[in-house]
Structure 1
Amino acid sequence: MSADKRAIWSWAFYDWANSAFATVVMAGFFPIFFKQYWSAEVPAIESTYHLGVINSTASLIVVLISPILGAIADQMGRRKGFLLIFACLGIVMTGALYWLEQGQWALASLLYIAAVVGFSGGNLFYDALLPVISPLHSVDRVSALGFGLGYLGGGMIFALNVWMTLNPESFALADSSEAVRVAFLCTALWWLLFSLPVLLFVHEPHVRRIAAMAAIKNAFHQLHSTFRQIRALQQTFLFLLAYWLYIDGVDTIIRMAVDYGLSIGLASADLITALLITQFVGFPAAIGFGRIGERIGCRQGILLALTVYICVTLFSVFISAAWQFYLLAVIIGLVQGGVQSLSRSLYVRLIPAGQHAEFFGFYNMLGKFAAVLGPLLVGLITLLSGSNRIGILSIVLLLLAGAYLLLRVDLIAGQQAAKNTKL
């Protein structure tokens, strides 16, 4: 294998590594375990509100630190080093969930928030390495490869964990509750093991590195400069606004789907099965969307995915049976990786060379700031209306607004402006 291909596959395998957290913890067991084990004595609507606040708090922390961390990483030329730091934070906090007992929902919340910060912070620097390891002409395909491997890897470890919870005695475990706690530990170990390739085989270009304190001082100045650059790059700025809105809807669906299913009376086993379906459908679909991006363009691919999401959200208000949730899981699996991977590769085209971590700091900031508003909005509307079905409808407005702004982005002008930007 050539050095370039080895770097691409090593980079993509970090998605395989940390998607275990996204699938097993964020989308899968944490919402269920939080509601049925750590918050067993808390009313369902109240625990939904707590879950929304927890996710929003974690995202808010990422919002506040992402831009400055990106600027510091660019100054120091150490994107991979920052990736390691945040990955370690996420790994340790995820593993620590194993030791929590029933009723400890407050401590579980704190550990989960720290784990999400580690996961999201690591993704900032992982994304910033994409233009380092991939030429622009293949960035759609490489971005999709990462998401595709993420779905496959996350699905495999999730399937193993589901098997453990359904048959705990086969694994010498006392019951399904202990199996879920072991799943958190397995996720941490999986994340650690498959993070090694990106650390060993992805190499950043040599830059003049400066001391940490000087980098921090320069970063605050550069942060202000970058913000002015983004405002000057009108099409990049417009894309970021569109992304902020539509990814809000997408992330909220990912984070709140299991809680929504539980709240309308579906069995947790059915919800876990639906998540597994999404993962394994998502693997070939994400790869396929990379091809779609090359054929019809990133924007058209994203708009196609958003149209599907809008239809799914509207239909979800009326579901009452497990088979309907399975159907939605298949449909979401077809487009979820596509909207994520094509958004990332489209953004790569709209940012200046040499400022990848810095600009991805703003990209991740907006994505996570959206995740502050989305779950909190759903949680508040659910709490005020007393209906989870009404709460979930708020997502449609975010998806529609994001699609509208995306249509207004002049991609050709945006790419030319990014090329002409001087460092």
Structure 2
Amino acid sequence: MTVTAKASPGARKAVLSWAFWDWGASAFSAVILTFVFSVYLTDGVAADTESGSQALGVALTIAGVAVALLAPVTGQRSDVGGRRKLWLGIHSAIAIACTAGLFFVQDEPSYLLAGLVLLAVGSVFFEFAEVNYNAMLVQVSTPKTMGRVSGFGWGMGYFGSVIALAIVLFAFVQPDVGLFGVTSEDGLNIRAVALFVAVWFLVFALPVLLFVPENPPSREQARGNFFAGYKVLVKRLVHLWRTDRRTLWFLAASAIYRDGLTAIFTFGGVVAAGTFGFSQTEVVMFAIVANVTAGIGAVSGGRLDDRLGPKTVIVTSLIALVIIGVALTVLPGKVTFWVCGLALSVFLGPAQAASRTFLARIVEPEREGEAFGLYATTGRAVSFLGPLAFSGFIAIFDSQRAGMAGIVLILAAGLAAILPVKAPARQDG
């Protein structure tokens, strides 16, 4: 991949260093939050799966509210102070420390609260770090290369999660005696996974801190304490409403379809097992192949982003996702799920990566952190849509397959919402 960064002799190194953060951080999302440690908390630590799942849901809901309320202001203050990289490092370090702390959560109910607190706090600071990471896109790219750099970073995240999941599966989870002699006694093999992810995250977070220059301070000076930032934020939102409603409409529209994109991966494994009869092994195999496919799609879509613009990539991807999603809801058989599921994965990465570049291309200079904080907040504000549509359609039609139709409806709504939003102007540089 050929990329260039803004007026820097070490452009390739800067881009690769920036993308390595996503390679490492994706292990926290995939292994800790989604596939391994959260399952350990609900199935191995909690007294029973139902109460454990409910407690996990409450913990992550509280974490989501914290992100929604705090992300814009934390991003804003990192912009003003010229400390975007510094706060990326601090927030990443806290997430890594919480991940490492999960090693001490044994498989007894008395450890559940500690595990949930560490998981929730880690997820909050992980998302704060993502705000700063996304804002740094403008530091490692030019308007001409922003699409491919964003796609490359997103692809690295997918590939990194595949490698991390494979290591976790074959080195710790599956063997009776895993790496370093760990066994399942006291949940040691899963607790060791937490240490592995902490080290993995740390190692791949270092390059961006070492080789990407810090953003310069904003011309605006920070005043007052942290909470004074909310006053500034309200003024900014009023200013956007008066002068740049496109940004606000994009934040709202992207929040809808991004929740649909998230729901595809969240419930894909459930549908594969429940509707199409996949075994646990087949689900894991599909997850690995799907992540690889999504990574390839993200990298390829990034190049099209630079040529055609992010809106074209987003709209094309959403149309394809809706069509494929409809096919998946009506056609039977495992082959159907493999074909349609992987086809969905191809378009997931481009839609996600192009959404990041769309915002980066329209935001005012020196406001990137604040903008991506709002990006995180709007996404959190409607994060109930995908799960609600999935569970609601199942309740209405008494069919898990109908739940996929609910997700398709969310994607179609997001597509309709993004169509009127004016595309960013084409730029060279």
8 Å contact from structure 1 (residues 226, 359) kept in 2: no
SS of the residue aligned with 2:375? helix
The answer to whether the 8 Å contact 1:139/1:345 transfers is yes
Distance 1:326 1:27, change over 3 A: farther
Pairing partner for 2:91 from 86, 89, 96: 86
Please list every run of 5 or more consecutive structure 2 residues that lacks an aligned counterpart in the other structure: 1-7
Find the counterpart in structure 1 of residue 284 from structure 2.
Answer: 272
String of CA shifts for 1:124-172, please: whole Å, max 9, x gaps: 0001111122111110011111111111222111111111222242522
Contact 1:79–1:125 (CA under 8 A) maintained in structure 2: yes
What is the identity, as a one-letter code, of the residue corresponding to 1:238? W
- 2:246 matched to which residue of 1? 235
Partners of 1:26 and 1:293 in 2: CA distance: 30
CA offsets per residue over residues 280-329 of structure 1, 9 Å max, x none?
22232211011121233322211222234334544555688665554454
Q: Which residue does 1:71 correspond to in 2?
A: 76
Which of 206, 212, 220 is the matching residue for 1:196?
A: 206
Quick one: structure 1 residues 22 and 173, their matched pair in 2 at CA, closer, same or farther if it must change by over 3 Å?
A: same
**C-alpha deviation, 1:344, in angstroms:** 0.5
Q: Does the CA contact (< 8 Å) of 1:317 and 1:390 recur in 2?
A: yes
Q: Which residue of 1 aligns with 2:49?
A: 42
- Match in the other structure for 2:362: 350
The answer to whether the 8 Å contact 1:70/1:357 transfers is yes
Residue 180 of structure 1 corresponds to 190
Give the RMSD, CA atoms, in angstroms: 3.2
| Residues 25, 184 of structure 1: 8 Å contact kept | yes
Identical residues among aligned pairs (%): 26
Distance verdict in 2 for CA 1:89–1:210, change over 3 Å: farther
Deviation, 1:362, is: 0.8
Output the CA distance in 1 between the equivalents of 2:339 and 2:189. 28
Equivalent positions of 1:206-221 (< 5 A) are: 206-207=216-217, 214=224, 216=226, 219-221=229-231
Q: Which residue of structure 2 aligns with residue 125 of structure 1?
A: 132
The aligned counterpart of 2:266 is 255
Identify the structure with bigger relative contact order (alpha carbons < 8 Å, sequence gap 6+): 1
Q: Map 1:310-389; keep pairs closer than 5 Å.
A: 310-314=322-326, 325-375=337-387, 378=390, 388-389=400-401
* TM-score, normalised by the number of residues in structure 2: 0.85
After superposition, the Cα gap between the structure-2 partners of 1:326 and 1:49, relative to the gap in structure 1 and judged at 3 Å, is farther
**Equivalents in 1 of 2:396, 2:416: separation in Å?**
29
Equivalent residues of 1:17, 1:192 under 8 A apart: yes
Greater CA deviation, 291-300 or 236-245?
291-300
Q: Cα deviation per residue 1:318-377 (whole Å; 9 max; x = unaligned)?
A: 688665554454223312221111000111111111211111111121122232543466
Deviates more, 1:117-126 or 1:170-179: 170-179
Counterpart-to-counterpart distance in 2, 1:396 and 1:49:
26
Q: Distance in 2 between matches of 1:121 and 1:189?
A: 19
Matching residue's letter, 1:407: L
- CA 1:194 to 1:330, structure 2 compared with 1: closer, same or farther past 3 Å? same
Q: Greater helix percent: which structure?
A: 1
Aligned residue for 1:298?
310
Residue 175 of structure 2 aligns with which residue?
167
Matched, 1:23 2:30: yes
Q: Secondary structure at the match of 1:12?
A: helix
Check conservation: 2:302, 2:354, Cα contact below 8 A: yes
Q: Which moved more, 1:50-59 or 1:337-346?
A: 50-59
Query: Per the alignment, do residues 38 and 259 of structure 1 end up closer, same or farther by CA in structure 2, a change over 3 Å counting?
Result: farther
Please name the residue that 2:100 is paired with: 95
Distance of 2:359 and 2:9 partners within structure 1: 27
- Structure 1: tracts of 5 or more residues without a match: 417-423
How many residue pairs were aligned? 413
* Aligned-partner Cα distance in 2 for 1:32–1:327: 28
| Counterpart amino acid of residue 75 in structure 1 | V
CA distance in 1, matches of 2:271, 2:358: 31
1:135 aligned to which of 126, 134, 142: 142
Per-residue deviation, 1:212 = 7.5
Distance 1:209 1:142, change over 3 A: same
SS in 2 for 1:349: helix
Please identify, of 390-399 and 60-69, the stretch whose mean Cα deviation from structure 2 is larger: 390-399
* Contact in 2 for aligned 1:127/1:360 (Cα 8 Å): yes
Q: Quick one: distance in 1 between partners of 2:125 and 2:108?
A: 25
